[in-house]
Amino acid sequence: MSSRREAYARKLDLARGCVEIGHGGGGRAMAQLIEELFLAAFDNDWLRAQDDCARLTVPTGRLVMATDSHVVSPLFFPGGDIGCLSVHGTLNDVAMAGARPLYLAAGFILEEGFPLADLKRIVESMARAARDAEVPIVTGDTKVVERGKGDGVFITTTGIGVIPAGVDISANRARPGDAVLLSGSLGEHGMAVLAQRENLSFDAPIESDSAALHGLVATMVTAVPDIHCLRDPTRGGLSSALNEIARQSGVGMRLREAAIPVKEPVRALCEFLGLDPLYVANEGKLLAICPAEAADTLLAAMRAHPLGREATLIGEVVADPHGFVEMETVFGGRRLVDWLSGEQLPRIC
Amino acid sequence: MKYLDEFRDGRLAQGLAARIRREIEPDRRYALMEFCGGHTHAICRYGIEDLLPAEVRLIHGPGCPVCVLPSGRLQAAIDLVERERVILCSYGDLLRVPGAQGDTLLKAKARGADVRMVYSVSDALEIARAQPDRSVVFFAIGFETTTPPTAVVLRQARREELGNFSVYCNHVLTPPALRALLATDFSSPHQEAATRGAGVVNGFIGPAHVSTIIGTRAYEFVATEYRRPLVIAGFEPLDVLQSILMLVRQLNAGEVRVENEYTRAVGAEGNRKAQQLMEEVFEIRPSFEWRGLGELPNSALAIRPEFADWDAERRFAVPAIQASDHKACACGEVLRGVKRPEECKVFATACTPDHPLGSCMVSAEGACAAHYHYGRFRQAVAS
């Protein structure tokens, strides 16, 4: 790699330079961008081979594959950026099948004029997230679109993983009587991004909860191999995740509002804007549905892991032909926790 | 959370509900209209109806600013942004409200119009400052609560001589709408049996935020002229339960008064400074159309001639569009309390939050949207 890099007349100006159309053109400029930025950050044997694909050794068993595109605005927010988010998001999609993630692929769509310094920050954040997760980024792609035709950076990541023997986790396996568990408090990612986007500053800043959850999942499936469903409540929040599971499994849910953790700064900002934390995005939380008799064991396993310390039992699965997700309010009344319609919009007065 | 958790205490709520149940006279009916969409939202979101005895029935009123905007005014805004190529700024909910033939500002945005959601009118002013080569129009709606901020920004725009900023004013006034509801004569036994209009409303839960501006005195006519008790209530669920208890007590005692439950924010005279601001910048329109209530005299505000340069209706000759609502849509009757949302024949079928036919299904404070999102299971059980 180093001998190739010396072939370039001048090094990339990663402090003051910006993305140019040529960086996606397939020529020397693109090769330089890949070598001096992506290869340097993600460095591993698969990438060093510099083929258009990665040759992978995989264990026997069922493979899981997931892909996710990341278009977050702003690109940098308290607690994270699009780089680490693009790693965590896809690792979590793989992990929600109970799988151990093995490899990642990354595709970049860059906008002409985007500062290379910002791109470097993003790539280094991705590299750090992948290293921490012990999942290498083994292949990738880069395209450049003209100025005005992108939003700085779009990143698509694809992950594959393998499901341990005896694990069968799917959104169609929730059964009446099952317990519904949540790994921690809601809404931190969505409100951190919104606060940053709208320049809302508060005494207690909200940080994104962006995190890779496969370690927590590994702990959970070891403790309770018969987990029925796992889901990370990302866009659409807890409500969408539960409604998806209810629909796929043909069941209803009963939640207890008092058991659902929401941190004070998130609650305050949601109040301020008239938003419901149940609908706000998370990037480091998961929902688990398991047989009632395994709930205590699973809860204990979750709480023993750093990412599940605040895990709680938030409700149960019920038989309901309508597939309603209902909630007992803190008042003792009942309400529906419905699908999100369009976007959550701030109220007028 | 300080000043919020105190008003969402489940045990206090159970205590209040028990007191309401104890004080109910079994042979009496208590039909109470919450005038404000914020109350409708709180009632549905916290499941307050589940705590109340059968004798107490809550009826939703016309107090959602998005819901009462006639579709013609909305369509005029869509025409304005597409024809004049302005930047049209508005609060979030408005973007999804259907105008004529179901068109919306969001659809106009998708077609290429520059429609932007803002959190406050000052954000729109900021856009105008930042883009002096573009004309920026703020689509102002709301009751007395959102009017003073619009006035502040109009004064600011005039002070800065900001030539590229204007306001499409749709601010409306609460008391005339309440008066229109009360003036509806549903008092004959025949009509009372056939309808559930305002005439059979026994008492009113009065607006929260609006009252911080106009004060309790603005509602005296409800008690003196129309002989109905009214309790100004905050938007927190305990406020609503407390105000129901206060209304029950008034009705049991045969009293007819304006009471103030929301004393932590509302006084008799309201906010004088805000009132002066409104007076300086706005004048009363002789007549204004409300969705569901029709043309109501002296019920809305227009921008005074002194601020004409910042009045979008003068600057762009915004057309007066008469657009009728979808034929099957019962928003008008829902807004008057004549129909419950689930009694509209398109509720939760042709009309849903994803494909709203009427405005009541759009705003979080709309009665239909609140019922759909929070209470639809009751309808399912009933059917």
Task: Please state which of the ranges A66-75, A220-229, B194-203, B220-229 shows the lowest mean pLDDT.
Answer: B194-203
Q: Which of B48, B93, B96 sits opposite A348 (nearest CB)?
A: B93
pLDDT above 90 coverage of chain B, percent: 73
- Read off the pLDDT band of B283 (50, 70, 90): very high
A274 in contact with chain B, both atoms CB, cutoff 8 A: yes
What is the pLDDT averaged over residues B351-369?
89
Q: Is A329 within 8 Å of B365 when comparing Cβ atoms?
A: no
Q: Which tokens go with A193? A: 């991004």
Q: What is the per-residue pLDDT across B70-81, written as a single tens digit (0 to 9) for each?
A: 999 999 999 999
Q: What is the per-residue pLDDT across A115-162, written as a single tens digit (0 to 9) for each?
A: 999 999 999 999 999 999 999 999 999 999 999 999 999 999 999 999
- The conformation of residue B326, written as its DSSP 8-state character, comes to P
- Kindly report whether the peptide bond that precedes residue B175 is cis, defined as omega within 30 degrees of 0: no
Helix (H) or strand (E) holding B62: strand B56-63
B362 has a pLDDT exceeding 80: yes
Instruction: Report pLDDT for B100.
Output: 78
Examine the predicted complex and report whether its ipTM is higher than 0.85: no
Using a CB-CB cut-off of 8 Å, the residues of chain B touching A264 are 1
Task: Please state which of the ranges A55-59, B97-101, B240-244 shows the lowest mean pLDDT.
Answer: B97-101
186-205 in chain A: CB under 8 A from chain B:
198
B194 has a pLDDT exceeding 80: no
Residue A345's closest chain B neighbor by CA? B92
B2 has a pLDDT exceeding 70: no
Using a CB-CB cut-off of 8 Å, the residues of chain A touching B374 are 335-336, 338
Is residue B226 a contact partner of residue B256, using CB atoms and an 8 Å limit? no
What is the pLDDT averaged over residues A175-181?
98
B303 has a pLDDT exceeding 60: yes
Q: Is A334 within 8 Å of B47 when comparing Cβ atoms?
A: yes
Instruction: Report pLDDT for B383.
Output: 61
A300 has a pLDDT exceeding 70: yes
Q: Is B376 within 8 Å of A330 when comparing Cβ atoms?
A: no
86-115 in chain B: CB under 8 A from chain A:
91-96
Q: Which of B47, B92, B96 sits opposite A333 (nearest CB)?
A: B47
Nearest Cα of chain B lies from the Cα of A254 at a distance, in angstroms, of 12
B210 has a pLDDT exceeding 50: yes
- Most A CBs within 10 A among B214, B377, B378, hence the mutation to make, goes to B377
**What pTM value is reported for the model?**
0.88
Instruction: Report pLDDT for B322.
Output: 84
- Read off the pLDDT band of A347 (50, 70, 90): low
A65 Cα distance to chain centroid: 15
C-alpha dist (Å) from residue B156 to A145, A301, B369: 41, 59, 36
Q: Which of B1, B145, B380 sits opposite A268 (nearest CB)?
A: B1
Instruction: Report pLDDT for B113.
Output: 97
B42 in contact with chain A, both atoms CB, cutoff 8 A: no
B28 has a pLDDT exceeding 70: yes
Q: Which of A274, A330, A345 sits opposite B10 (nearest CB)?
A: A330
Looking only at the bridges linking them, the beta strands covering B203-206 and B230-232 are parallel
Q: Which of B4, B46, B380 sits opposite A331 (nearest CB)?
A: B46
Q: Is B93 within 8 Å of A273 when comparing Cβ atoms?
A: no
Q: Is A335 within 8 Å of B93 when comparing Cβ atoms?
A: no
B186 has a pLDDT exceeding 80: no
Instruction: Report pLDDT for A346.
Output: 55
Instruction: Report pLDDT for B325.
Output: 80
**Radius of gyration for the alpha carbons in chain B, expressed in angstroms and rounded:** 21
119-138 in chain B: CB under 8 A from chain A:
119
C-alpha dist (Å) from residue B101 to B68, B97, B293, B327, B350: 17, 11, 20, 11, 14
Instruction: Report pLDDT for B3.
Output: 64
357-376 in chain B: CB under 8 A from chain A:
363-365, 372-376
Instruction: Report pLDDT for B190.
Output: 42
- Most B CBs within 10 A among A200, A328, A347, hence the mutation to make, goes to A347
Instruction: Report pLDDT for A228.
Output: 98
Residue B120's closest chain A neighbor by CA? A348
Instruction: Report pLDDT for B142.
Output: 93
B251 has a pLDDT exceeding 70: yes
Using a CB-CB cut-off of 8 Å, the residues of chain B touching A271 are 1, 4
Looking only at the bridges linking them, the beta strands covering B294-303 and A252-256 are unpaired
Q: What is the per-residue pLDDT across A81-106, written as a single tens digit (0 to 9) for each?
A: 999 999 999 999 999 999 999 999 99
End-to-end CA distance of chain B, in Å?
40
Nearest Cα of chain B lies from the Cα of A216 at a distance, in angstroms, of 31
- Write the DSSP string, A85-146: HHHHHHHHHHHTTTPEEEEEEEEEEEETT-BHHHHHHHHHHHHHHHHHHT--EEEEEEEEE-
What is the pLDDT averaged over residues A336-344?
82
> How many A×B Cβ pairs under 8 Å?
106
Q: Is B96 within 8 Å of A345 when comparing Cβ atoms?
A: yes
What rounded mean pLDDT belongs to chain A?
A: 93
What is the pLDDT averaged over residues B213-223?
96
Q: Is A345 within 8 Å of B95 when comparing Cβ atoms?
A: yes
A2 has a pLDDT exceeding 80: no
A9 has a pLDDT exceeding 80: no
Q: Which of A273, A333, A336 sits opposite B50 (nearest CB)?
A: A333
Q: Which tokens go with B72? A: 């013609």
Instruction: Report pLDDT for A345.
Output: 59
Residue B343's CB: how many other CB atoms inside 10 A? Answer: 12
pLDDT above 70 coverage of chain A, percent: 95
- The conformation of residue B307, written as its DSSP 8-state character, comes to G
What rounded mean pLDDT belongs to chain B?
A: 91
Residues contacting B63, CB < 8 A, separation 6+: B34, B35, B36, B37, B38, B39, B40, B143, B174, B177, B207, B365
Instruction: Report pLDDT for B192.
Output: 44
- The helix/strand/coil state of B77 is helix
Residue A39's CB: how many other CB atoms inside 10 A? Answer: 19
Residue A338's closest chain B neighbor by CA? B373
Residue type, B48: I
Q: Which tokens go with B277? A: 């601001």
Residue A342's closest chain B neighbor by CA? B354
Longest CA–CA span in chain B (Å) reads: 67
Q: How far apart are CA A261 and CA A278, in angstroms?
A: 10
- Write the DSSP string, A256-270: EGGGS---HHHHHHH
Nearest Cα of chain B lies from the Cα of A201 at a distance, in angstroms, of 14
Instruction: Report pLDDT for B287.
Output: 95
Q: Is B49 within 8 Å of A333 when comparing Cβ atoms?
A: yes
Q: Is A341 within 8 Å of B374 when comparing Cβ atoms?
A: no
Instruction: Report pLDDT for B119.
Output: 85
Q: What is the per-residue pLDDT across B31-89, written as a single tens digit (0 to 9) for each?
A: 999 989 999 999 999 999 999 999 999 999 888 888 999 999 999 999 999 999 999 99
Q: Which of A223, A188, A193 is nearest to A302 (CA)?
A: A223
Instruction: Report pLDDT for B102.
Output: 83
B66 in contact with chain A, both atoms CB, cutoff 8 A: yes
B200 has a pLDDT exceeding 90: no
Q: What is the per-residue pLDDT across A193-238, written as a single tens digit (0 to 9) for each?
A: 998 987 777 777 899 999 999 999 999 999 999 999 999 999 999 9
Q: How far apart are CA A129 and CA A211, in angstroms?
A: 9
Q: Which of A10-19, A95-104, B323-332 has the highest mean pLDDT?
A: A95-104
228-247 in chain B: CB under 8 A from chain A:
237
Instruction: Report pLDDT for B1.
Output: 64
What is the pLDDT averaged over residues B244-263?
97
A153 Cα distance to chain centroid: 17
A4 has a pLDDT exceeding 60: no
What is the pLDDT averaged over residues A41-62?
92
Q: What is the per-residue pLDDT across B286-296, written as a single tens digit (0 to 9) for each?
A: 999 998 888 99
Instruction: Report pLDDT for B359.
Output: 87
Using a CB-CB cut-off of 8 Å, the residues of chain B touching A348 are 65-66, 91-94, 141-142, 146, 363, 365
Higher local confidence (pLDDT), A67 or B380: A67
B6 has a pLDDT exceeding 90: no
B191 has a pLDDT exceeding 80: no
